[in-house]
Structure 1
Amino acid sequence: MDDRYLRAKTIAMEALDIAPDAREAWLARRCADDAGLRAEVDWLVTAAHTGPDNPLAPGWPPAGIEPLREGARVDAAQPGQYRILRLLGEGGMGVVYLAERDDGDAHQLVALKLLASAGPHGARLAQRMSEERRILASLRHPNIAHLLDGGSTGNGQPFIALEYVEGERIDRWCQARGLPLRERVALFLKVCAAVEHAHQRLVIHRDLKPANILVTDAGEPKLLDFGIARLIEEHAPAEPTGTAQRALTLAYASPEHVAGKPLSTATDVWSLGIVLYELLTGTRPHQAVESGHLLPDAIVSGEIRPPSSAPRTGVPETDRAASAVGQAVGRIPADIDAIVLKALRHAPEQRYPSVAALSDDLRRFLESRPVSARRGHAMYRLRRFAWRHRWQVAAASVLLVLASGFLFERERQLQQVIAERGKAQALAGFMTELFANADPSRSRGEQITVREVLDRGAKDLRRRTDLPADTRADLLLAMADANQGLALESAAEPLFREALELKRRTGRPPLELARVQMKLAHAYAQQGRNADAIAIHRQAQALLSPDQPEERIERLRHRVAELRNEGLAGTRPAADMAADLERVLVQLGRPDGKDLALIRADALSALADARQQLGDFDRSLRAHQESVALRERYSADDPGELLTARINYATLMLDVDVDRGIRMLEEADRDYVKLIGENTLARAVNLNQLSVGYSRAGRHKEALGASGRAVAVARNTTSADNRLYLQLAVGHAISLRTAGRMQESEALLREVLPGLRKRSAPGVDAVNLAYALSALSRLVLDEHHDTAQALALAREAEDVLQPYAADYLVVYDGMIDPLARSLAMQGNHREAEAAAARYASLLDAHGEPPQSRWRESLAVLRKAIAQ
């Protein structure tokens, strides 16, 4: 429904620019045979033209209007129906409900605003609602809640239906996430864009305040409530805003609004200034007098202190909240003070001439350029120039210092050259000795592998005392990187740990330590030690400051990697993962360089996985598409990263279009072999996903071949206790059993079982162990009729799987079958039936319908027990 509405609005806005006599033919071409789309377009065109001459239907209101209860239905005069879900709020114009719009086979949540009562002012209120409908019909912006429907109900009651925005008011949203100053300004700029869009269409909002700006979970602000908006061309004076109105609304009103003077776009500029003031300080300029009768005078002529020295309100709770905002925002610079104070000048003509000009100054601040609000101050402009070109200025300053202290610096450099020469000689000697180890004459004629060379080099390096600690650390890192390039994570990990410890002892800066920690965490993750990786990522984030640009980037990189490891470990619900990743994406914003772009690509990929688990395939696809696009733009020099992103995208495509997903995975595998090689863990993953695709397409022989190649590649690439290898091996063993190759299946399961038991931990590892135990239990029972061994394996599987049974019914089903049958074959029918009853209770708690595959499996099991 939402897609149809957006298409209709686009067509309607274009139609309004076409002459009425040519419009009908044009609409017929654009809408073709889509009657529903044409009806939506016609309604929007009519809404944009309809005036408020007769806002109330004759005979309305009927006597005794009662509040609507949950489940009540509201019929529109034109086809369409709304089911009331709950009350959202009440105001001077009417009442707003959360409702479900039922339009044939389409359903959508809406905010349904109904004129509650005509009363003595009914005509004026109905006129205002009609005007709101007309204004909203002309607006189309991603940060404005859009109009869906409007007119009169079946009994003549005026109504409008708006996009329902599930979000949090902007001030509370910023504080809940502890956003620093620059991120608050960036979010506020989106609000400005929405207001500017309205101004371009000659609409003044007149009621801008945090309560009318909601921010969604995705970090997008939505502007609401155009109930008192006015068209600029009307030149109507504002109604006097008396103190009888709620103080919070009055607190955002401009001086001319309070005084009842004509309004212009400058009115909204003032309100935006108040909102920005509150976002940055937690208070409003005149909040200390809002509870009394002094507020109107304070708005019209009172002094406004800059945000950096915002006054206290004298209300302890409010001042505590303001203090919390101040801690998150930090120091407010003079540029922001100047921008806010210019937006809040009492005379409208002295404010920013437009919201676009206000936005431009805020962007200038974010880009460290001079802001127009401080134009004319020579020393200020010089400081801005120096900051914007700080690296060039710093270089010039260094040259000046070098020139003035040339003799001293020359001597220092000579000493440094001597030290560097000694270091280089030591490095050259070590590297010469390292590669000499591979000489057959020194290795008794044996061929030495690269791994053996690296192992010997690391052992020699630990004995060297002639190399400085930082040099040893760099050499250890180089050898660790080489091991990691060979997919020898278990060999790389201790080298990374040693290098990190040496750098700590030599007092290296946090950023350098965090980059080594990223390498170490990656080595842990590649071994499937996600808990260790998560701990390292958290240590790194604690080291880094969010206020230092480079450290902030590295901190976000660690945060995304931490969340990805949590997803791989399977220890957190997918919904929680998605929410955390969406918050990180808000912090990242739109990338302005390679580093942030690639972090965003990683975050999007992890978010796509979480959304896929939640069954939200459309949003998952969009996240994957954006991730791949970023990789294509910024990872041209790293084909492995780009191919991994393509594989992730293709894997999701299997759930949407299996044949297309298979083609994408086949293409990715060919490219992987050509560009990188045959034996990498990423290729093993790709082959396994290709096996899944073949199986779904009914190509079972190809599926078994692909899963076998995946296991072989993983075995050639990594260690026998690597999580990925173990997972792939268990999956292949079960495929072998399905294909009737029982001996091969049993042999593979027994081969990997020690590794699975060794690394069993809460989450995915435990489930994988239970899966293998269940599969082996069934094989032992069916092939060898060994009930004692089968029962022992199944009971171990049940113990391991206990915390995760509801989330992994396929594993539980595979476990309970050999468990119950073994008991029955031993004559213990009571315990066998108890096992089946546990399964039935689990299915009941899970809400499985009577015809589900799991219910059918349980019925077959009970029949086997009875026999």
Structure 2
Amino acid sequence: MSDRYLQAKSIAMEAMELPAEARQAWLEQRCAGDPGLRTEVDWLLDALRADMTEVLVPRWAAGDTPTEPLAQDTTIGAAQPGRYRILRMLGEGGMGRVYLAERGEGDLRQQVALKMLAGTGPQAGPTAAGMADECRILANLQHPNIAQFIDGGLSADGQPFLAMEYVEGDRIDHWCETRKLPLNARIRLFLKVCAAVEHAHQRLVIHRDLKPANILVRADGEPKLLDFGIARLTTGDAHAADPTATAHHALTLAYASPEHIEGRPLSTAADVWSLGVVLYELVAGVRPHHGVESGHLLPGAIVSGEIRPPSASACHAPSPDAGVSRIPADVDAIVMKALRRDPGDRYPSVAALADDLRRFLDSRPVSARRGQRLYRLRRFAWRHRWRVAAAAVVLLMLGGFAFERDRQLRQVTAERNKAQALSTFMADLFANADPSQAHGEDLTVRELLDRGAVDLRARQDVPAEVRAEMLDAIGQAYIGLQLGQQALPVLEEALQLRRTSAAAKQDLAATLGLLADAHLFLGQNREAIALNREARTLLPQDDPAQFEAWARHRVQELRNEDLLGEVPAARIIEVLRELDGRLQPLATSQSIGRVRITALEALASALNRAERVDEALAVQREVVALMEVHYASQPATRLLARSNLGAMLLGGNGVAEGVALLEEVDRDYVHLVGEATVQRAVVLNQLGIGYQLLGDKARQLETLLLATQVAREAGGPENRFYLQIAVTAAQALTGAGRHEESVQVLREVLPALEARAAPGIDAVNYAYALGALGFALLESGGDPREATEVLARAEQAVLPHARDFMVVYDSAMRGQARAMRASGDTPGMRKVLERYQALLEAEGIPDDSPWRRSLARMQDQAAAG
């Protein structure tokens, strides 16, 4: 430890012996002229004030914890009806003091844990309003393993308080140690805690301060989770009630996730991390970073991501007298997966963590070690050990044991070679990101994928089926990064390898499906349809083992046909209803249930296109309900179905309902995922359209500008969603008369749109943005010749796709005609109209179409001069 730290620690310990009112002046004198030393001392004082050694203390408002504890029989009057009589103090910590109190309201008498929170001040009014909102949320947490939230708000004198169910019990870690509980019993107890946390997550509440001190076990052996949502309530702006915000939260640092320490937005993954720390402590007897003596060093240790498995902990010494004498590799794997540094690499939900623990208890393979064939074989053998033993005797007697062993060895050898090839490739790939190997380059994920694709093509030591699998993974990653154009050659090579290596039909169908997704992303619906159709032919629908994959390809094929608009909506609706009739009896399976959800979403879209809005809304509402069942442990995933319902309501007679739903979805995105996400930007974009339909142009523009900002923060300046939403916001600026701002936004995004304007939807997006710029220039009163040139470029960009995107082509032609009329170029205007008419004839556009009517209006304007 440094001399500076030791000096600061000595000063902090002395300061704690002084009265609070004399402490600041004494510190000013001791640390005079050394601001760095004062910062170190202040940090240590914050840690020393806490009820444990590593607590970050929140600051509710300008005040501090009351100097003296409340005496017995003191009465606390709440601002709302109800009074509390203090019985005794239960504890004291960074958030304030906790008392056993008796609640009196009329004839009601109830013992509660009354938490008098630190701080008073001028913010009392907004704080009370915010706490009332949060109390309603927390009161809905009804679970046998969650201490019931009873009341909360401000006392009559402005002191923030919370009243919770009084739980008499022992901390979960102490409970396990004093009773020498064996490993399996500890895990079963921990599973009840997981069930409580998952219950709250499904109701959009994140705990954010999970630790043994907040998990008490009663005398009957039932755990009770305390302080759920108190981190939400103890923010400086309680009215915002944003559970993803990271500033000023009360948390125990030893159990805080890396993203919490780094100040990043929080999600349910933060609770998964904290549960991982608690589980580590229950099985190993120590926390993951127990070797870090100073709380000052603990944040860096957590953020580093370097954690030893519980079984390798220096303090875990197996003993016959200990409750946990040995920590199996399965438990190591489960704990370490929950404690992965990147939230996306952890268990996707608490339910998934609990499922793996139950699999361990049942002697089944755990997902944290999925993919190891020998490991899975060992678990199967242990689960059925008596039958396996008997079978082995029979095999020995028949003389077949040697043959079977040889076959298994060949299979294991093949799997080992495949795993080694994959491991070598991945090691080489990520070596590119090592600063010592990257020659000072700061590589992006895309650049890493690019290098991986090039390296993989040059590798001759990787079997064809393994290369195809790796290329599939790279292609899928490109699609996830919205780089469909880059995904195409990679997936086409994977498909060629599958075809030439006589791959299994289901593997070939999987690659065809990924390639179809890449084409769909680029707006190339016809190509996607052909690929999905080919994949279906490889998977006979009458084979129960293949029906799920067949149905998935069929749904995607129908969805693409609906987007293309060439097949009558009535026919697509008929086929989807027939397919749903086959899926519904099988939908008790979660995987089939999820395929059925995609089929119903496609059906709702087709009904909406057919202007059967009421039917479409009914189907989409059913989708939302089914998502609650089949994605119960993934609340963030369920948001997409609700946002689609909100967008669908905007297209019917439910605009106000749609806006309200989208506002609710936006709040939930912030709570569950974070403020700066691409998905949230899409929701805000839909919400802006809703405000426009309600005639609220001010909120429309405000929301679209926010959507643009969120999309840029989440995906960067070249992200497709940002570029599209920015164009929509620019159009709103034009509508609001802010022409110069609109032109500026469009000029900023056009280079990125042009750079990615490959054939397909990206070219159409580029044309659409050019059209918006042309109209903005016309509205601003600028030179119509510049607007004409811009709109002519829009026409050329969309021309190859005009049949599928007539609305964009029509806009470009109308803009040119208007600009030429404004500049007096009548011959030029006539040529524009001639080109428009020629395209309508060549594409066979019906006479009663809106595009024919648009052309007729322009021809009338040209004739009128």
TM band (smaller chain): 0.3 to 0.5
TM-score normalised by length of structure 2? 0.46
| Structure index of larger Rg | 1
TM-score by length of 1: 0.46
